A and B are shown apart, each in its own frame.
Chain A
């Protein structure tokens, strides 16, 4: 069955770079794209970016200068890297398959010294 699972550090220092992995199963990354979404504590959902099945990417214009999404199709993994983290980047980070039916459980990332 289709599954997505996020992983990464729970705590990141301000000004450092966040690296997250979304490991998928039950489908191929060459057939379906994957989105990254984040949700600050107690707040709503924000789309961050998408890597499409052909490897092309789209980014939220508010994050584009700090954000990079890539993948390793052989490992069924999608990567998110975002630099210059600040406290307002504290959030649950989730991946979701395109069309938004399948979601990961999310990973909480706290930006704090």
Chain B
């Protein structure tokens, strides 16, 4: 199974601060078809996960452009440029290049 290691487990940020979350994979996520199936999700308390980013860096419809994704192979990053109060929750990276797996999550808290 592909293991996704997310760091840090917790982020404490002030409004307007920029933060980054790392997601490292135990195997390359580059599919034989040339796509890299690495997504980022946000789960707010008591809600289902909601999609933020797909294919490493593509913003899902309706997601603010303060969110951005980057990376390749085994190293990926989610960046929030200017945290807002509504961004609090748990962020997960997930891959489905191989059988799907999820990172352990990063909890974003607002100071």
Contact = CB atoms under 8 A, between A and B. Distances in A.
Interface string A35-67: 100000000111100100000001011000000
A100 B39 contact: yes
A94 interface: yes
B82 interface: no
Give the most central of A44, A46, A61: most B CB within 10 Å.
A44
A58 B105 CA distance: 24
Nearest to B90: A44
A61 B49 CA distance: 23
Q: Contact residue range for chain B?
A: 10 to 19
Contacts, number: 37
A47 B48 contact: no
A47 B99 contact: yes
Interface of A is mostly: loop
Q: Contact residue range for chain A?
A: 10 to 19
B60 to A, nearest CB: 7
Given A45-B92, A61-B1, A103 B102 contact: no
A44 B48 contact: no
Given A100-B41, A101-B60, A106-B48, A47 B100 contact: yes
B102 A47 contact: yes
A104 interface: yes
Given A100-B39, A101-B60, 6 more contacts: A44-B105, A47-B99, A99-B54, A100-B96, A101-B54, A104-B48
Interface of A: 35, 44-47, 50, 58, 60-61, 94, 99-101, 103-106
10 contacts: A44-B92, A44-B102, A44-B103, A44-B105, A45-B49, A47-B101, A99-B54, A103-B49, A104-B48, A106-B48
